[in-house]
């Protein structure tokens, strides 16, 4: 497999910008118009970058899941997103003065299972993937803002929070630069919630294909 160095750098750059301007202390989160505009700008500026882990999982599950290159290429994107986010966290923390994770495992209850939360993630993946496949980047960004805003407005503080706020790469970056104490709680939404979102994208694609 040939390494796409430009794609890797675009992923780092896009994740850096979104983590810095959306998920850091100065940001307002993805459930806001500012978050959507920054994300749309990131997609336009860093061509081909997924930026958000949920989008990468969407591509994994709608691609050939039996293809090792599909997993490898997208797995690298997930890692690059964490690196970009970690760089933003380090900059916002002024180097090594304060690198404690921004993630609060006790608030998100990452290990708590909720059937309705899982169904919500699958539904969100189906909706966002359809818009992503059919519309311009800014429309997808608005859809992600709406999904994130809907969950936060409902006061959902279960394991879906870190996915529906779409900040799992930022949380991973914060955790890596911290004491690694919340590794399991941070990794669960990054992987499992993302996988549910990707499964939703696959379900949506199959429904769309059967209706065409």
Task: State which residues form the domain around 47.
Answer: 5-211
Check residue 111 and give left, alpha or beta (phi > 0: left; psi -120 to 50: alpha). Answer: alpha
Walking along the chain (212 residues) 10 residues at a time, the average pLDDT comes out as 82 96 81 93 95 95 93 95 93 60 44 72 92 92 87 48 70 80 75 91 89 70
Per the structure, the count of domains in the chain is: 1
pLDDT at 150: 66
pLDDT at 95: 53
- CB-based burial label for 142 (10 Å; 0-12, 13-18, 19+): middle
pTM, two decimal places: 0.86
Give me the CATH number covering residue 64.
1.20.1080.10
């Amino acid at each position: 497999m040939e390494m796409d160095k430009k794609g890797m750098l675009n992923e780092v750059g896009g994740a850096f910008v979104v983590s810095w301007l959306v998920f850091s202390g100065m940001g307002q989160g993805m459930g806001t118009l500012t978050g959507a505009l920054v994300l749309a700008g990131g997609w336009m500026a860093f061509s081909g970058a997924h930026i958000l882990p949920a989008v990468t999982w969407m591509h994994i599950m709608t691609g050939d899941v039996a293809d090792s290159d599909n997993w490898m290429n997208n797995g690298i994107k997930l890692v690059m997103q964490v690196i970009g986010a970690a760089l933003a966290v380090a900059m916002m923390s002024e180097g090594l003065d304060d690198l404690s994770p921004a993630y609060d495992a006790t608030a998100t209850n990452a290990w708590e299972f909720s059937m309705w939360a899982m169904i919500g993630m699958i539904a969100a993946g189906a909706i966002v993937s359809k818009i992503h496949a059919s519309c311009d980047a800014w429309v997808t960004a608005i859809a992600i803002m709406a999904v994130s805003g809907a969950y936060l407005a409902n006061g959902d503080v279960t394991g879906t929070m870190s996915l529906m706020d779409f900040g799992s790469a930022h949380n991973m970056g914060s955790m890596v630069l911290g004491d690694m104490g919340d590794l399991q709680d941070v990794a669960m939404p990054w992987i499992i919630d993302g996988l549910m979102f990707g499964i939703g994208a696959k379900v949506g694609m199959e429904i769309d294909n059967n209706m065409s």
